[in-house]
Structure formats: structure tokens, C-alpha cells
RNA sequence: GCGAGAGUGGCGGAACUGGUAGACGCACUGGACUUAGGAUCCAGCCCACUCCGGUGGAUGGGGGUUCAACUCCCCCCUCUCGCACCA
């Protein structure tokens, strides 16, 4: 026996990382002759250092990348930096530098950290979104979208975050607060640029059904966010002239409308109340509602309240006069900002009617019938048959929806209409550290795009941010002043920058050809590599980033640059890393620093534990003792392999046919493990069970051979087993396996090795244990060769002594035989 | 309230299309080796009872289907996440 060598993870990891890097081991090129696999993990924001969430995300990705490579696929596995963003500005102010300095320092540091983890990226494709060579294409997209009217400018009430000094998109407002700094947002009137994502609402929604590789949870969130509703718009004539347009999904209930509700901000509010004596009450109510909405916690619904405007509308079908109320639950931004109130068939209207003593009129009777206004305790919003609805009485509600909408159309006061909850994407940010919006303003010619030849509009490097946190661009003459491309006169540049979600909406496509200089994408590259086969990241991006990326993919497709409809074929959302029951955070003091762990145990141990402790989509509870256990396992394997080096090296590769029992058992275990690990990794991502089956193999190996080797098993089988362990483990703990692979006499690195094939014959059990049950309870066990004839097994079971005790004297009613599993005797 | 997911030993988690519940690991207990052990190795480890052969119970709770249920159906409870007056 050779003396074992210590597991010197630090030296091993350094050695292999250097080799991989120097040898560009993971560089890929498009090769139409090979099947591709594009594996992508969400790129990080260069905040300073990586955290355990990154470690977990990227470890999962790396295992898949390495596994697919071993399976012979041409794997694209890139990494880059989501490098624009507010923290860089804050840091620049604090340290008196340029945001770029902080950003690139962080990138350099974090890149080292990732390399220390041994992730197999093609670093030649690295990109940073703050680089003009990247965002210049984004500016081009903007201009092309502007030409196609997919970008427009409008003045709107926006969500303003006073702390960040910027506008936020609806999606970036969480519980009424800024998603980044948690401060309450305030409304503010501003002119901003919008992407017309609503033009794609229908396609974005419809294609959710075809994203079969996405978690249902994420698709549900996206569908809800898009929020399609089919209904009708109907004009109600206002008593003093004009019309009030409403949107409803229940045109079938229009005969049951007893009043109207409009949003406090609705433009007609003033006109409706004028001269009725209600002006003041209405104004006061509007103000009160505004304040309340701001103050209210998002999870409380609040009492439904309203005030009579003094005005009336006429139901275009019945001619009835309906009072118009301003109501706090009607949203100006949805539909038309006004609704017809049908208390009998809408819960909100019902509550409102009861509160203000307004009439309730039943127009849809449920199948069971018997609905009467006086007896109702809540609205009935299900289907039924129409009553008291003029010519439509007797119709089923679904049919009536169509008929009433059609009738409204014919008579010129209504039309079928589909609305979405999804709003256009406001992308203007009053920030410095973002991609400049390539537009300019000329006094004579108006708003003009920057000519393509003048791109990129580069963010100046010679600025100093001041304490206020405001963007320096509006006051920077050298940036702001420009000439109009149309008239040649003086013009002013747009000084807003783009939302950083824009950069992350197309980076995955740029990775296919990051060096392309004459176009955003090389056609052959995107044709070959897209779509991403597997995308991996946190579920916190389930709406924002993923929806925007889908939108951008469709836009870039329609602009002729991309060949796909959807960016990500399969999506894996990994769970959070938690400690002591809650998410790691500085404030809770439960943060685990990857650096310390790598220092202490090595990257392989950290990788192994984060894969073993939980299935990827579930939260992972960090356990120091668990890490210790992972380390112990590696040490054990290391000790075993190094102690048996001579034997393994000297063995033949071919396993002899005439093995003894021990040899056959180990040989079988090897092939079973190969099968199991392959199954677990391939598409299922069950890393935890994959590891446990390798552990079982190692347990079998050490219990048969012991640390001190010797002649208890033929060397060829020992060699096969050791190699299997290294091959199977290599996607997960790559440095460790490379080193032992080399030590066991392989000249070619493991990173070039193929995934082992398993021999079904060898993996087959020689004996299976068949359980003997009596009335469903396990009473005995018998051992038989697999696939033994059912009658034979039945016979043996009936003869089983232990089982016999439980069926004494009772007649056997029925015997169920499940092949290779059990026999159940019913007495 | 609506939607999605989840509830299995002290803990993280296994269990294929209904077929031996608790793989693998952690923690714990006993032993071996030892100057020492927080290293390593061996053994034990769901609960209760036990004549140490076993017997009974157990996958959030309650019902049901079935020869057989963690798995399927119905009702209920708890937790996590998302949405939340969207007409």
C-alpha cells in the first residue's frame, strides 16, 4: 500500500484553475456539425463581492454545463456583468471617483472570486453592460424602435423615488415603496420615454402556454401581470351632455346597473358635479382618497367609500337615470376609469350599494334560482340566465355577453374590447450611470433621434458627481449641447438614461457574438446558439427581467435581428440560501462569506455542500456542520484513492468476465451509480440524490476494499469503480476529480473526458428481495432472481414460514403478485 | 380574498407511472485506536411495548377509493411565495 497523500485543496484548486484558464479549456465556437447547448445563469450586478446566492446559482449552472459537455454537447456557458446601476453612483459620491472606477474594480474582484470557485465559463465572451461597445447597440435598438413607434414619449404621473432621485417603473414599486431603497414613492408629473410592451401583451400571454420548460409558478405570475380581460366598452350619455365611457367584463349585467362609479381622478368629475352643490364634497373626497391611498398598507383593502357627484347618466339600453358616484375603489389607470355598478352581480358594487342605500337589481338568476335583492347577503357573480333584461331575458349569461355587446355596437354606443393590466414600460431614469437615451431636442425640428452614424452616445468620463445624487448630465454643457441632424442648428441632448433592465433584456443574445462590431448580432451566431436551452436564476426575477427579456426578444425578432420568439426554453428558479431560518442579510448578521469558506474548505467542498443540502428549487438552509460533512466525504475519497494508487494504475481497463461475487457486486454497484447519476443530472437536476448515490458507491467501495487495499477485489474492478466515482463527481467537484484523475494515470484532463456509459447487463441485480405481505402488512421476505415467474414467486410466498403464521386457518382469498416487488396474500 | 407551492425522524432531505416509508448526510449515543481527539474506524439511532424472537403505531388532521396510499379523491388545519379593490 502506498502512503496516502493529504487532501491539499488549496494547491489542487489553484493548479487546475490556472490550467483551465491558460488552456482556455471552456472556450467554445459555433460548430454547425455539433449539437449545441446554451446554458445561462443570470449575470450578477457587480456590487463588490459575490454572496452565497451567487455561489449556489452558479454552482448549479456549472454542474449542468460540465455534465452537458461530457455528454458531447457544444456548450455555451458565458458570464458577464449587469454593470449599470445606482449603487455605483452612491459609491462614486462617497469615494469621490467615477462610477466606472468602482464598477470595474468590483468586476475585477468578483471575477477572481468566480474563478476561485472553478466555474467553467468561456471568459472570452465576458461582457459588461456599461461598456459603450455594448450599450451602443441598445441605443440602436431604441432608434429602430422609435422608427417603428415602439418607443414614444408621454407625460404621465410617475412613481418618483426621492431617495434615488429617479422614476420607477410600476414593476419596480413593491408595496408602494422603491424596490431598491425601500422608501415610499410619491407621484410626480414627468415627461418620459416608454416602450410599447402592450403591443406585445397578447403574444406574451399566448406564448406562456408554450413555455413548457418554465415553472408553472412563474408562468402564473406572468399571466397575472399581463392581466387580460375580455369585455366591452359602453358609452353612457351624461345628463347635461357628453358621454361617460365605461369598461366591463360583464355586459350581460347591464340591465342591472343602478348607479355609476368613477375614479376620483377621472377628467369628468368636475363637469359632473358642477352646479349641483356637490363640488366641494367631491373635491374633498378626491383629496382624502389620494392621501389614503398613499398611506395605506398594500395588504389592507380598505372600506369602500364614495360620494355622489350630483350628476346622472342614462343607461343606453333602458333609458334609466343612474346617479354617478366618485368611488375610492375605482382606478383611473385601468379600463376607462369608470364603471357601471351592478350591485347584484359584483361584490364591490354590492358593498357600496348597501352602504349608501342604493338599489340592487337582479338580472342573472343562477341555475338554482331564487335570487332576490332583499335576501342577498353578497353579490352573485356566477353564470346564469338573464331576467328583467328586455329582449335579452332568458339568454344564458355567456351568450348574452355577446348579444348585448353586438347590440350596443349596432346602435353605436359600444364595442367589444380587451384590456390588459400590463402598462407600457417607462424606461427614463434621471440617473447618470446608465445608457444614454439617443435622442435630442431641436427648437426648430422637435424631437429627433441621434443619427446612427453618431452612435454610441457615450457617457462622459470626466464628470464629478456631487452630494445631491442628482445626475450631472443636464448641467454638463459638453454632453448636453449638440447639433440638430436635420437643420444643423443648436440642439439639446436627452439627458435621461435607460432603465438598467433594458441591458439585461438582451445580453443573452449578445453572448453569442460579443465581439461583433458591425452589427448587434452575428446572424450565424444567433442562428446557431439561440434560444438559451437552460436559464437559471432567482425567482425574484419572475416578472420584471423575464417579461422584459421575452418582450425584447420579440421586438428584436421583428426588427430582423433574432431568429427566435422566446429567449429561454427552460427555466430553473433556484431557492434562496438561508441561515437560521431566514434570508441572509447584514442586518440579521447571518451572512456566510464565500471567501472564508473557500479559504477553509476549498471551492469543491462549498460546491458539494450547496448541491447536496437541498434540491435546487427549494430554499437551502446553510449548515456549518453540513459543510464539514461534505468536506469529510471528499477527504475520505481522497484518502481512499491515493492509498490505492498503485493498484489502480496497474490495473487493466477491461473488466474480466469471470468475476467472483465481490467483484460482481461492486461492478454492479458501479453501473447502477452511473445510471442513477446520469438520470438525476439529465434534465432533472437532482444533484442531492446524485451525490448520495455516489456516496453509496464510495461506501460500498471502502467497505469491500478498506483503506488498505489488498487482494479483495480484482484491480480492474477497483479501477473501474474509482474512475466512475471521479467521472460522476467531476461536474460537481471538478478540481478534486481532475487531480485524482491525473494521479490515477490519465494524461488527458478530465474536463475533456466523456460521460461514462452504463452497461444495463452489469447493472442488473442478481437477486431481488420480494416482500411477502399478508393483508397488506409485511410479514416476510424472500430472495429470488429478477423476473422470476409469477407463479413460482407466489408458491414461494405461500410457503413462507413467517407469513404462514399470519394466515393460519384462514382461507386464501386472493394473491397479488407485483413482479420483483412483492406478493400480497389476502386471507 | 384569489393564485401557486409545501407539510415525512432531533435536523437537511429520499421514496420510479399506488407496491419494503425514512436512501444519503448532519446531529446524537456506545465502542475501538490514542499522550490527546474537535482526526479516523466500528456499531446503534422514527415512536411505544418487548419473553429481544418480535408486536403495534407512524408521512399536518379527518374521511374515502384500493389487496395495497407519502403517492389518487373529498373536507379541514398550518406555513411559504406571488397578486391584491383590475370592473
Place of cell 401581470: A225
CA at A383, C1' at B14: how many angstroms apart?
A: 47
- Sequence length of chain A is 827
The span from the CA of A683 to the CA of A509, in Å, is 23
Q: Which grid cell sits at A109?
A: 474582484
Nearest C-alpha neighbor of A181 from the set A194, A162, A200: A162
Are A43 and A81 a contacting pair, CB within 8 Å? Answer: yes
pLDDT value of position A715: 85
Using DSSP bridges, classify how beta strands A822-826 and A36-41 pair: parallel, antiparallel or unpaired: unpaired
CA at A775, C1' at B46: how many angstroms apart?
A: 23
User: CB of A229 under 7 A from strand B?
Assistant: yes
User: CB of A808 under 7 A from strand B?
Assistant: no
Q: Which grid cell sits at A185?
A: 414613492
The contacts found for A709-715 with CB under 8 angstroms, 24 or more apart, are: A709/A1, A709/A643, A709/A644, A709/A647, A710/A1, A712/A662, A713/A662, A713/A663, A713/A666, A714/A651, A714/A655, A714/A656, A714/A659, A714/A660, A714/A663, A715/A647, A715/A648, A715/A650, A715/A651, A715/A652
Are A487 and A445 a contacting pair, CB within 8 Å? Answer: yes
Q: How high does pLDDT run on average in chain A?
A: 90
Place of cell 450599450: A135
Q: pLDDT digit string (tens) for A527-564?
A: 999 999 999 998 888 888 999 999 999 999 999 999 99
CA at A727, C1' at B29: how many angstroms apart?
A: 37
CA at A3, C1' at B33: how many angstroms apart?
A: 19
Burial of A32 (0-12, 13-18, 19+ CB in 10 A): exposed
User: CB of A248 under 7 A from strand B?
Assistant: yes
Tell me, rounded to whole angstroms, the distance of Cα A539 from its chain centroid. 4
A641-677 exposure pattern, b = at least 16 Cβ within 10 A, e = fewer = bbbbbebbeebeeebeeebeeebebbbbbbbbbbbbb
pLDDT value of position A585: 78
pLDDT value of position A444: 93
Q: Which grid cell sits at A242?
A: 357628453
> Cis peptide before A806, with omega less than 30 degrees from 0?
no
B23 closest protein residue (CA to C1'): A692
B69 closest protein residue (CA to C1'): A776
Helix (H) or strand (E) run with residue A202 in it: helix A201-206
Place of cell 403478485: A817
At residue A422's C-alpha, the angle toward residues A404 and A185, to 5°, is: 130
The span from the CA of A382 to the CA of A365, in Å, is 9
Are A102 and A92 a contacting pair, CB within 8 Å? Answer: yes
Contacts of A765 (CB under 8 A, 6+ apart): A668, A786
* ipTM score for this prediction: 0.93
Bases in strand B with any atom closer than 7 Å to a protein CB: 1, 3-5, 11-16, 19-21, 23-27, 39-42, 55-57, 67-69, 81-87
Q: Which grid cell sits at A450?
A: 441621434
A280-299 exposure pattern, b = at least 16 Cβ within 10 A, e = fewer = ebbbebbeebeeeeeeeeee
Q: pLDDT digit string (tens) for A202-259?
A: 999 999 988 988 988 899 889 989 999 999 999 999 988 889 999 999 999 999 999 9
**Is residue A821 scored above 90 in pLDDT?**
no
Are A66 and A120 a contacting pair, CB within 8 Å? Answer: yes
Nearest C-alpha neighbor of A253 from the set A418, A417, A421, A380: A380
Contacts of A611 (CB under 8 A, 6+ apart): A59, A60, A63, A687, A688, A691, A732
The span from the CA of A466 to the CA of A89, in Å, is 10
CA at A111, C1' at B14: how many angstroms apart?
A: 36
pLDDT value of position A300: 56
User: CB of A628 under 7 A from strand B?
Assistant: yes
Alpha-helix residue ranges (DSSP H) falling in A644-686: 645-650, 661-681
3-state helix, strand, coil in chain A (%, to 5): 40, 20, 40
Q: How many CA atoms lie within 13 A of A264 on its CB side?
A: 21
The span from the CA of A348 to the CA of A333, in Å, is 18
Nearest C-alpha neighbor of A612 from the set A634, A594, A593: A634
Helix (H) or strand (E) run with residue A292 in it: helix A279-295
User: CB of A784 under 7 A from strand B?
Assistant: no
A717 vs A654, A664, A704, A747, CA distance in Å? 9, 8, 12, 21
Q: Which grid cell sits at A394?
A: 332568458
User: CB of A769 under 7 A from strand B?
Assistant: yes
Mean pLDDT of all residues in A480-496: 94
B67 closest protein residue (CA to C1'): A826
User: CB of A298 under 7 A from strand B?
Assistant: yes
Mean pLDDT of all residues in A779-790: 81
The span from the CA of A569 to the CA of A591, in Å, is 33
Q: pLDDT digit string (tens) for A639-683?
A: 999 988 888 888 887 887 887 888 888 999 999 999 999 999 998
Are A193 and A427 a contacting pair, CB within 8 Å? Answer: yes
Share of chain A above pLDDT 70, in %: 97
Q: Residue A506 — very low, low, confident or very high, per pLDDT cuts 50/70/90? A: very high
The span from the CA of A353 to the CA of A362, in Å, is 13
Give the global pTM.
Answer: 0.92
CA at A365, C1' at B58: how many angstroms apart?
A: 50
Does residue A691 or residue A587 have the better pLDDT? A691
Using DSSP bridges, classify how beta strands A259-262 and A321-327 pair: parallel, antiparallel or unpaired: parallel
Q: Which nucleotide is nearest, taking the CA of residue A698 and each C1'?
A: B24
At residue A57's C-alpha, the angle toward residues A53 and A63, to 5°, is: 145
3-state secondary structure A104-158: HHHHHHHHHHHHHCCCCCCHHHCCECCCHHHHHHHHHHHHHHHHCCCEEEEEEEE
Residues of chain A (401-440) having a beta carbon less than 7 angstroms from strand B: 419, 421
Least confident of A297-301, A337-341, A478-482: A297-301
Mean pLDDT of all residues in A137-144: 98
Q: pLDDT digit string (tens) for A704-756?
A: 776 554 557 788 899 999 999 999 999 999 999 999 999 999 999 999 999 99
Q: Which nucleotide is nearest, taking the CA of residue A776 and each C1'?
A: B68
The span from the CA of A191 to the CA of A168, in Å, is 13
User: CB of A538 under 7 A from strand B?
Assistant: no
Other C-beta atoms within 10 Å of A186: how many? Answer: 12
User: CB of A346 under 7 A from strand B?
Assistant: yes
Q: Residue A372 — very low, low, confident or very high, per pLDDT cuts 50/70/90? A: confident
At residue A748's C-alpha, the angle toward residues A742 and A753, to 5°, is: 100
CA at A370, C1' at B74: how many angstroms apart?
A: 28
Residues of chain A (163-202) having a beta carbon less than 7 angstroms from strand B: 174
The span from the CA of A361 to the CA of A363, in Å, is 6
Q: Which nucleotide is nearest, taking the CA of residue A575 and each C1'?
A: B81
Q: pLDDT digit string (tens) for A142-191?
A: 999 999 999 999 987 777 888 777 777 666 676 667 766 777 777 788 88
Burial of A560 (0-12, 13-18, 19+ CB in 10 A): exposed
Residues of chain A (474-533) having a beta carbon less than 7 angstroms from strand B: none
Q: Residue A1 — very low, low, confident or very high, per pLDDT cuts 50/70/90? A: very low
**Is residue A515 scored above 80 in pLDDT?**
yes
A30 vs A274, A446, A524, A753, CA distance in Å? 70, 45, 8, 20
User: CB of A699 under 7 A from strand B?
Assistant: yes
Residues of chain A (662-691) having a beta carbon less than 7 angstroms from strand B: 686, 688-689, 691
The contacts found for A807-812 with CB under 8 angstroms, 24 or more apart, are: A807/A774
Are A494 and A436 a contacting pair, CB within 8 Å? Answer: yes
3-state secondary structure A462-497: CCCCCCCCCCCHHHCHHHHEEECCCCCCEEEECCCE
Q: pLDDT digit string (tens) for A601-630?
A: 999 999 999 999 999 998 898 988 999 999
Nearest C-alpha neighbor of A473 from the set A484, A461, A485: A461
What crossing angle do the helices spanning A52-70 and A594-601 adopt, rounded to 10°? Answer: 60
Are A418 and A231 a contacting pair, CB within 8 Å? Answer: yes
Strand partners, A157: A189
Amino acid at each position: 500500500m502506498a502512503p496516502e497523500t493529504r487532501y491539499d485543496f488549496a494547491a489542487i484548486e489553484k493548479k487546475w484553475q490556472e490550467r483551465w484558464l491558460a488552456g482556455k479549456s471552456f472556450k467554445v465556437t459555433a460548430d454547425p456539425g455539433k449539437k449545441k447547448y446554451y446554458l445561462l445563469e443570470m449575470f450578477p450586478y457587480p456590487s463588490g463581492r459575490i454572496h452565497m446566492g451567487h455561489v449556489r446559482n452558479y454552482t448549479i449552472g456549472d454542474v449542468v454545463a460540465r455534465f452537458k459537455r461530457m455528454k458531447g454537447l457544444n456548450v455555451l456557458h458565458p458570464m458577464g456583468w449587469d454593470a449599470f446601476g445606482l449603487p455605483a453612483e452612491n459609491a462614486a459620491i462617497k469615494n469621490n471617483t467615477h462610477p466606472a472606477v468602482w464598477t470595474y474594480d468590483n468586476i475585477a474582484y468578483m471575477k477572481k472570486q468566480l474563478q476561485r470557485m472553478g466555474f467553467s465559463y468561456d471568459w472570452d465572451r465576458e461582457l459588461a453592460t456599461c461598456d459603450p461597445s455594448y450599450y451602443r447597440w441598445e441605443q440602436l435598438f431604441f432608434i429602430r424602435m422609435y422608427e417603428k413607434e415602439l418607443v414614444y414619449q408621454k407625460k404621465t404621473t410617475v412613481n418618483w423615488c426621492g431617495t434615488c432621485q429617479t422614476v420607477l417603473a410600476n414593476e419596480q414599486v413593491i408595496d408602494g415603496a422603491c424596490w431598491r431603497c425601500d422608501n415610499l414613492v410619491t407621484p410626480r408629473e414627468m415627461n418620459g420615454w416608454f416602450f410599447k410592451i402592450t403591443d406585445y401583451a397578447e403574444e406574451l400571454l399566448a406564448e406562456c402556454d408554450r413555455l413548457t420548460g418554465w415553472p408553472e409558478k412563474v408562468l402564473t405570475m406572468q399571466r397575472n401581470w399581463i392581466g387580460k380581460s375580455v369585455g366591452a366598452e359602453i358609452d353612457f350619455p351624461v345628463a347635461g351632455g357628453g358621454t361617460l365611457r365605461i369598461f366591463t367584463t360583464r355586459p350581460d349585467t347591464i340591465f342591472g346597473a343602478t348607479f355609476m362609479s368613477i375614479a376620483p381622478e377621472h377628467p369628468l368629475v368636475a363637469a359632473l358635479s358642477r352646479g349641483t352643490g356637490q363640488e366641494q364634497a367631491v373635491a374633498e373626497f378626491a383629496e382624502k382618497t389620494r392621501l389614503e391611498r398613499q398611506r395605506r398598507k398594500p395588504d389592507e383593502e380598505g372600506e369602500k367609500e364614495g360620494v355622489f357627484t350630483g350628476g346622472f347618466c342614462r343607461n343606453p339600453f333602458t333609458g334609466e337615470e343612474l346617479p354617478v358616484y366618485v368611488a375610492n375603489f375605482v382606478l383611473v389607470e385601468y379600463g376607462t376609469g369608470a364603471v357601471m355598478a351592478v350591485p347584484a352581480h359584483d361584490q364591490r358594487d354590492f358593498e357600496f350599494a348597501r352602504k349608501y342605500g342604493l338599489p340592487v337589481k337582479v338580472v342573472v338568476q343562477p341555475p338554482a334560482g331564487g335570487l332576490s335583492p332583499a335576501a342577498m347577503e353578497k353579490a352573485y357573480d356566477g353564470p346564469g340566465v338573464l331576467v328583467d333584461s328586455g329582449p335579452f331575458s332568458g339568454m344564458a349569461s355567456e351568450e348574452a355577453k355577446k348579444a348585448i355587446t353586438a347590440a350596443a355596437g349596432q346602435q353605436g354606443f359600444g364595442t367589444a374590447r380587451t384590456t390588459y393590466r400590463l402598462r407600457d414600460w417607462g424606461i427614463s431614469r434621471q440617473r447618470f450611470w446608465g445608457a444614454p437615451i439617443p435622442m435630442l431636442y431641436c427648437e426648430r425640428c422637435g424631437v429627433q433621434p441621434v443619427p446612427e452614424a453618431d452612435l454610441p452616445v457615450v457617457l462622459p468620463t470626466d464628470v464629478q458627481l456631487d452630494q445631491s445624487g442628482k445626475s450631472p448630465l443636464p448641467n454638463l454643457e459638453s454632453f448636453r449641447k449638440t447639433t440638430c441632424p436635420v437643420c444643423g442648428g443648436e440642439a439639446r441632448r436627452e439627458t435621461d438614461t435607460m432603465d438598467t433592465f433594458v441591458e439585461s433584456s438582451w445580453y443573452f443574445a449578445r453572448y453569442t457574438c460579443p465581439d461583433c462590431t458591425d452589427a448587434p448580432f452575428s446572424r450565424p451566431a444567433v442562428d446557431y446558439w439561440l434560444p438559451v436551452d437552460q436559464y437559471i436564476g432567482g425567482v425574484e426575477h419572475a416578472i420584471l427581467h423575464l417579461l422584459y427579456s421575452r418582450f425584447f426578444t420579440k421586438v428584436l425578432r421583428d426588427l430582423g435581428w433574432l431568429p427566435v420568439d422566446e429567449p429561454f426554453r427552460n427555466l430553473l428558479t433556484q431557492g434562496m440560501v438561508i441561515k437560521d431560518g431566514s434570508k441572509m442579510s447584514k442586518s440579521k448578521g447571518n451572512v456566510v462569506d464565500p471567501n472564508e469558506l473557500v479559504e477553509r474548505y476549498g471551492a469543491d467542498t462549498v460546491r458539494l455542500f450547496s448541491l447536496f443540502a437541498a434540491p435546487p428549487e427549494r430554499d437551502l438552509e446553510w449548515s456549518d456542520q453540513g459543510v464539514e460533512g461534505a468536506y469529510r466525504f471528499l477527504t475520505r475519497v481522497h484518502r481512499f484513492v491515493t492509498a490505492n494508487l498503485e493498484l489502480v494504475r496497474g490495473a487493466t481497463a477491461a473488466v474480466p468476465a469471470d468475476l467472483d461475487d465481490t467483484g460482481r457486486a461492486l461492478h454492479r454497484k458501479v453501473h447502477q451509480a452511473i445510471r442513477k447519476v446520469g438520470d438525476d443530472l439529465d434534465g432533472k437536476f437532482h444533484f442531492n440524490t446524485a451525490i448520495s448515490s455516489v456516496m453509496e458507491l464510495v461506501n460500498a467501495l471502502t467497505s469491500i476494499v478498506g483503506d488498505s487495499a489488498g487482494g479483495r477485489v480484482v484491480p480492474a474492478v477497483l479501477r473501474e469503480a474509482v474512475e466512475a466515482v471521479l467521472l460522476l463527481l467531476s461536474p460537481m467537484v471538478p478540481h478534486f476529480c481532475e487531480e485524482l484523475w491525473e494521479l490515477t494515470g490519465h494524461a488527458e484532463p478530465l474536463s475533456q473526458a466523456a460521460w461514462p456509459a452504463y452497461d444495463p447487463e452489469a447493472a442488473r441485480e442478481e437477486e431481488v428481495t420480494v416482500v411477502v405481505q399478508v393483508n397488506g402488512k409485511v410479514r416476510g421476505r424472500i430472495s429470488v432472481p429478477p423476473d422470476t415467474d409469477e407463479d413460482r414467486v407466489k408458491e414461494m410466498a405461500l410457503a413462507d414460514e413467517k407469513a404462514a403464521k399470519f394466515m393460519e386457518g384462514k382461507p386464501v382469498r386472493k394473491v397479488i403478485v407485483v413482479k420483483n416487488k412483492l406478493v400480497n396474500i389476502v386471507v
